[in-house]
C-alpha cells in the first residue's frame, strides 16, 4: 500500500522532545494506524457527542476523538504558551517554526481533523493531501477555496450540480465549527493542561471566521487572476 507520511517533531525549550507521525493511505487519505485497544473514556461517541452527529452509537467511538487521543494524551501536561521548535517532514521537504506548543499542536490537529473519518470534516481531506504547516489565514483560505472549486469541476465532470458561489464551503466550515465546539467540551471534561484545548481554540477561531470573511477574501484575490479575466478565449 502506498502511503503519505507527515512527521511532527517538537523540541521544547525545557529539553523535552516529542514526535508524532501521521501515515495516510495515498489513495483514500485514511489513517493507516489501526485502532488502539485501550482508548480513554472521552473518546466514546456518546461522551459530549455533537448534536448533529450522523453516527449511531453502534460506532462506539467518535472517530475524531479516537484519532486525536494519542496526541492529546501524550501532551496532556503541556502548557499552551510553552516555547518549542516544531519541525515537520513532508516527503522531501522539512518545514520548521520557532513557535508555541499551542500553534504546533493546532497545525497537526488540522490534518487529523480532516482525515479522522468524521462525516462532518471529510470534505477537507484533499487539503490534508497537500498539507501546509503553520500557514496563515490567507494561505489556508486560498487552499480551501481552490480545493472547493476543483471539487466543483469534478462534480460538473460527473454530471452533477456545481456550486460556483461557494455556499457549500461556508456550510462546511460551519459544520466544522460545531464539531470543534463539542470536541473542546470533551477535552475540558478531562483535567489536563491547556495546550491541546487552546490549540483547538486557535483552529476554531479560523474556522468560525471563514463564513464571514469569504466574500471579502475573494474580492482581495480577484486582481491576482487579471490575466484570466483579460482574455475571453483562454484555451
111 located within any domain: yes
Rounded-to-integer distance, Cα 153 and Cα 7, Å: 32
Query: What spatial distance separates the first Cα and last Cα of the chain, rounded to whole Å?
Result: 37
Q: Is residue 49 part of a domain?
A: yes
pLDDT category at 223 given cuts 50, 70, 90 is very high
Q: Cβ contacts of residue 40 below 8 Å, gap of 6+?
A: 69, 73, 190
- Note whether residue 12 is domain-resident: yes
Domain span at residue 143? 3-224
Q: How confident is the prediction for the chain on average, in pLDDT?
A: 90
In a domain, 229, yes or no: no
What is the distance between the alpha carbons of residues 71 and 193, in angstroms, rounded to a whole number? 13
- Output the nine-digit C-alpha cell for 115: 482525515
Number of domains into which the chain is organized = 1
User: How much is the CA Rg of the chain, to the nearest whole Å?
Assistant: 19
- Whether residue 104 is contained in a domain is answered as yes
pTM: 0.89
Report yes or no on 234 lying in a domain: no
Q: Kindly state whether residue 40 falls inside one of the protein's structural domains.
A: yes
Grid coordinates in use for 153? 469541476
- The pLDDT of residue 197 is 79
Q: What's residue 210's pLDDT?
A: 85
Question: Is residue 221 predicted with pLDDT exceeding 90?
Answer: yes
- Per-residue model confidence (pLDDT) at position 107: 93
Whether 70 maps to a domain, the answer reads: yes
How does pLDDT run across 96-115, given as a tens digit for each residue? 999 999 999 999 999 999 99
Amino acid at each position: 500500500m502506498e502511503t503519505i507520511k507527515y512527521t511532527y517533531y517538537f523540541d521544547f525549550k525545557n529539553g523535552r522532545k516529542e514526535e508524532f507521525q501521521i501515515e495516510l493511505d495515498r489513495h483514500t487519505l485514511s489513517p493507516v494506524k489501526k485502532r488502539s485497544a485501550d482508548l480513554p473514556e472521552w473518546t466514546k461517541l456518546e461522551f459530549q457527542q455533537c448534536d448533529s452527529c450522523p453516527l449511531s452509537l453502534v460506532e462506539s467511538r467518535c472517530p475524531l476523538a479516537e484519532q486525536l487521543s494519542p496526541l492529546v494524551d501524550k501532551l496532556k501536561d503541556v502548557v499552551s504558551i510553552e516555547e518549542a521548535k516544531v519541525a515537520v517532514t513532508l516527503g522531501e521537504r522539512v518545514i520548521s517554526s520557532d513557535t508555541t506548543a499551542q500553534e504546533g499542536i493546532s497545525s497537526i490537529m488540522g490534518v487529523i481533523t480532516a482525515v479522522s473519518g468524521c462525516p462532518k470534516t471529510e470534505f477537507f481531506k484533499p487539503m490534508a493531501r497537500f498539507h501546509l504547516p503553520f500557514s496563515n489565514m490567507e494561505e489556508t483560505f486560498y487552499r480551501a477555496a481552490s480545493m472547493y472549486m476543483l471539487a466543483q469541476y469534478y462534480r460538473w465532470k460527473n454530471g452533477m450540480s456545481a456550486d460556483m458561489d461557494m455556499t457549500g464551503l461556508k456550510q462546511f466550515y460551519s459544520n466544522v465549527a460545531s464539531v470543534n465546539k463539542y470536541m473542546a467540551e470533551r477535552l475540558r471534561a478531562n483535567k489536563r493542561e491547556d495546550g491541546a484545548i487552546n490549540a483547538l481554540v486557535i483552529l476554531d477561531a479560523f474556522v468560525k471566521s471563514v463564513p464571514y470573511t469569504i466574500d471579502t477574501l475573494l474580492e482581495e484575490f480577484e486582481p491576482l487572476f487579471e490575466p484570466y479575466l483579460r482574455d475571453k478565449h483562454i484555451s
